[in-house]
Amino acid sequence: MAYARRKALDMTAEHLLSDLPQLRTPCVMVIFGVDGDLAKRKLFPALYNLMSGRFLPERFSIVGLDRAEMTTAEFREKLDRVIGDYLPADVEQSVWQALSERVHYLAGDFQEGLTYRRLNDLLQQVDASAGTGGNYIFYMATIPGLFGQIVMHLGEYGLTVERDGTWRRVVIEKPFGHDLESARALNRELQRVLQERQIYRIDHYLGKETVQNILVFRFANGIFEPVWNRQYIDHVQITVAESLGVEHRGRYYEEAGALRDMVPNHLLQLLCFLAMEPPNSFAADAVRDEKAKVLRGVVPLSSLDVLRFVAFGQYGPGTAEGKPVVGYRVEPHVAPTSMTETFVAMKLFIDNWRWAGVPFYLRTGKRMARRLTEIVVQFKRAPFMLFRKTAVDRLAPNVLVIRIQPDEGISLRFDAKVPGPTVRIGTVDMDFQYADYFGNAPHTGYETLLHDAMAGDATLFQRADNIELGWAVVQMILDVWKSLPGAAAFPNYHSGSWGPPEAEALLKREGREWWDGGRA
C-alpha cells in the first residue's frame, strides 16, 4: 500500500498535466462582468492554473467588459492589486504577468447596442494582433437578468455567427431561471440566437474531481456496479451543507432561497451521476441522455407529498467556529420577518427498474455544523440468523461515503470480528483520500470546465432539457411553499446545527438517520 501511494504521488504532476491536453485552437475569452466577484475569485485563478500547466492555447487572449470607465492598462493594474488574494500561495509571477498581458478591457453598458459595436471592433483588433482566428467564447459573469439581452445583442451584431471554420460559444452561470416557466423562457430566448451546441450552461460542482470520479468509480470497477441497485441498497443521502451564512448575498437569497439556489442544479446533478445508467460512451449527448432519463424517472410529488416528504428551515442565531453569529433575519438586506428558507430537505423516489422503492434523501442548508458535501450509500443489512446465539446483538449496515468537499475521498464501512475468543463485531472503515494518492493540485473547480468549453466538449455542461427537467422536479414544491405563507415557525434551527427537527423526522420515522459527516 505504501509503495502504491508513493508511486501515485510520484506520478501526480505527470498525471494531472496529461489529463487535460493543451488546447491547440486559438481563441478569445470574452468575460461580461470582468470586474465582478466571480471573475476575480474563480475565473482568473482558474485561467492562471490552466496557463501554469500549459493547457491554454499559445494564441489566447481575454477581453473583459464592465461598466466602470477604465483603460486596459488601468484594469490590469487593478487586477494585479487584488488577484493575489485568490491565486495559489506559490504563484509564479512570470506566469501571472504573461496572462495579465493578454487581458484587454472595454467599458460599456451591456444593454446598449453601441457596446457590441465597439466589442466587435476590439475583437477584430485582438484577432489581428494576437492571431486568435475569430474563435470566441463569451462568458456571462453577470446577473441572470442580463443573459438574454446580452445574447440578443451578440446576435444582432453577428458575434454569434460561425463562418469559415470559426466557432462561437456562450457560457452561462446558474441560476438558469427561477422556476420551470422562466427556465423554459430563457431557453427559448437563447435558442432564438444560438444553436444548442453553442450553449454551455455551467455548474461548477461538475468541475470537482470527486463528482467526475463517480462515473469512473461506478463503471470502471467490477465490484460496485453489480450491487448498485434496489436489491442491495437501502437508501441514499446527498448532503450539501455550508457553515457560512448568506453574508453579502442577502438580496439574492431573498429572491432565491435554498431550494431554488441549490436543488435544481447542484443536488440533482449529483443525483443524476449517482443514479444514471451506463452511457454507451462518454460523448456529451450520450451522458446527458442518461441524466435526462434519471430526471424523467423522479416520481412527481403531489401537494400532500410535499407536506410529508419536504422539510424547510431558516437559521437563527447560534455559533460558528466557536463564535456567536446572528440569525438570517438580521443579515444585511434581509427582511426582519423573512420567510425565505435557508435549508431544505426532501425524500425522492426514482421510478425505474434499478431504483424502484429506494428513497433518495437530499438536503442543503446554510449555517450548518460544518462545511460538507457528500453522498452516502447505505446498503441493506445482512441476515442476522447466523449470529443469533452469539454476543452480537445487531449488524451494522455497510455504508459507502463519497466525500466531495472539503476532504475529497471515498470510504467504505463494514463489519469485522474483534480479536478474542468470543464472536464480537466491530465496525471498521477503509478510507481513500485523494490528497494521499494524487496530491493537492491547485484548483478552483473551474479549470476543467473552462478547458472543456474552449475544446468544445459539453459533457459536463447542462443541456436545455436537463435544465427544464430539473425545475420540473421541484416545481410542485415551489407551488406548495408559495401557497403556505407563514406556515413555518421560522427560525427553526440554530446556527451551527444540522438543521431543523423536521429534517430529522424525514428519516427517523422510517428507522433511519442522517449520516452527518460520520454518524451512522
* List of long-range contacts for 179-188, beta carbons under 8 Å, 24+ apart: 179/260, 179/471, 179/475, 179/478, 180/468, 180/471, 180/472, 180/475, 183/467, 183/468, 183/471, 184/468, 186/147, 186/148, 187/464, 187/467, 187/468
Q: Do residue 110 and residue 216 come from a single domain?
A: no
173: closest CA among 468, 466, 462?
462
Q: Verify that 217 and 141 share a domain, yes or no.
A: no
Same domain flag for 98 and 230:
no
Give me the pLDDT at residue 381, please.
76
Domain ends where: 173, 194, 214? Answer: 173
CB 126 within 8 A of CB 62: no
367 in Cβ contact with 249 (< 8 Å): no
How many other C-beta atoms are found inside a 10 Å radius of the C-beta of residue 317? 16
Q: How far apart are CA 346 and CA 362, in angstroms?
A: 5
Residue 89 sits in the same domain as residue 146: yes
Contact, 40 vs 80, CB < 8 A?
Answer: no
The rounded distance, in Å, linking the Cα atoms of 422 and 444 is: 51
Distance CA 351, CA 427 (A): 33
What residues pair up with 316 in beta bridges, in sequence order? Answer: 494
Position 384 scores a pLDDT of: 46
pLDDT of residue 420: 59
User: Per the residue annotation, which of 153, 178, 204, 266 is the catalytic one?
Assistant: 266
Instruction: List alpha helices for 72-220, DSSP H.
Output: 72-82, 93-100, 113-130, 147-156, 180-191, 209-219
Determine, yes or no, domain membership for 133: yes
Q: Do 161 and 216 share a structural domain?
A: no
Cell reading at 339:
420567510
Query: Rounded distance, CA 396 to CA 427, Å?
Result: 8
Beta bridge partners of 426: 416
CATH code assigned at 267: 3.30.360.10
- 47 three-class SS: helix
> Has 104 been annotated as catalytic?
no
Residue 136's alpha-carbon distances to 34, 161, 312, in angstroms, are: 16, 10, 43
Q: In this structure, what is the dihedral angle of CA atoms 253, 255, 261, 263, given to the nearest 10 degrees?
A: 130
* Predicted local confidence at residue 84, as pLDDT: 85
Please give, one letter per residue, the 3-state secondary structure of 83-103: HHHCCCCCCCHHHHHHHHCCE
- How far is the C-alpha of 443 from the C-alpha of 445, rounded, in Å? 6
Q: Would you say residue 395 lies in a domain?
A: yes
Round to whole Å and give the CA distance between 258 and 328. Answer: 12
The secondary structure of residue 265, as a DSSP letter, is: I
With H, G, I as helix, E, B as strand and everything else as coil, classify residue 377: strand
CA-to-CA dists, residue 500 to 312, 376, 397, angstroms: 8, 20, 26
**Rounded-to-10 torsion of CA 180, 182, 187, 191:** 150
Q: pLDDT 10s digit of each residue in the chain, 520 long?
A: 443 444 443 443 334 444 566 678 999 999 999 999 899 999 999 999 999 889 999 999 999 999 999 999 999 999 999 888 888 878 899 999 999 999 999 999 999 999 999 999 999 999 999 999 999 999 999 988 899 999 999 999 999 999 889 999 999 988 898 999 999 999 999 999 999 999 999 988 777 777 778 888 888 888 888 999 999 999 999 999 999 998 888 888 998 899 999 999 889 999 999 999 999 987 889 999 999 999 999 999 999 999 999 999 999 999 988 899 999 999 999 999 999 999 999 999 999 999 999 999 999 999 999 999 999 999 987 664 454 555 445 667 888 999 888 888 888 866 665 665 655 555 667 777 766 665 555 576 788 899 999 999 998 899 999 999 999 999 999 999 888 765 568 999 999 999 999 999 999 999 899 987 655 4
Q: What is the CATH number of the domain that holds 64?
A: 3.40.50.720
Largest separation between any pair of C-alpha atoms in the chain: 85
Residue 160 CA to its chain's centroid (Å): 27
- For residue 46, being part of any structural domain is answered with yes
Total domains, the chain: 2
CB 316 within 8 A of CB 494: yes
Please report the pLDDT score of residue 456 as a whole number. 92
Q: What is the number of helices (H) and of strands (E) in the chain?
A: 18, 18
What's the length of the chain? Answer: 520
Answer yes or no: do 166 and 242 share one domain.
no
Residues 91 and 157 in one domain: yes
* Residue 451 domain-assigned (yes or no): no
Q: What amino acid occupies position 279?
A: P
**220 and 123 share one domain:** no
- Residue 205 · residue 445 · CB < 8 Å: yes
C-alpha cell at 481: 411553499
Do residues 157 and 295 both lie within one domain? no
Rounded to whole angstroms, how far apart are CA atoms 469 and 350? 13
Q: What is the pTM of this model?
A: 0.88
In a domain, 54, yes or no: yes
DSSP reduced 3-state for 511:
coil
Per the domain annotation, does 192 fall within a domain?
Answer: no
**Residue 88 and residue 495: Cα distance in Å, rounded?**
31
Asked if the structure places residue 194 within a domain, the reply is: no
Q: Do 64 and 118 lie in a common domain?
A: yes
- The dihedral region occupied by 11, where left means phi > 0, alpha psi between -120 and 50, and beta the remainder, is alpha
Question: Do 369 and 486 fall within a single domain?
Answer: yes
* Same-domain pairing of 245 and 372: yes
Structural contact between residues 134 and 126, judged by C-beta atoms closer than 8 angstroms? no
- State residue 249's pLDDT score: 84
Choose among 334, 367, 337, 344: nearest CA to 254: 334
Q: Which domain holds residue 110?
A: 2-173
Counting Cβ atoms within 10 Å, is residue 68 exposed (0-12), middle (13-18) or buried (19+)? exposed
19 is written with which cell numbers? 489529463
Query: Of the residues 116, 149, 173, which one is the last residue of a structural domain?
Result: 173
In order, the DSSP letters of 406-439 are SS-EEEEEEEEEPSSSS--EEEEEEEEEHHHHH-
**CA of 351: how far to CAs of 276, 316, 348, in Å?**
12, 37, 10
Dist CA 159 CA 49 (whole Å)? 28
Residue 183 inside a domain? The answer is no
Point out the domain boundary residue: 173, 195, 222: 173
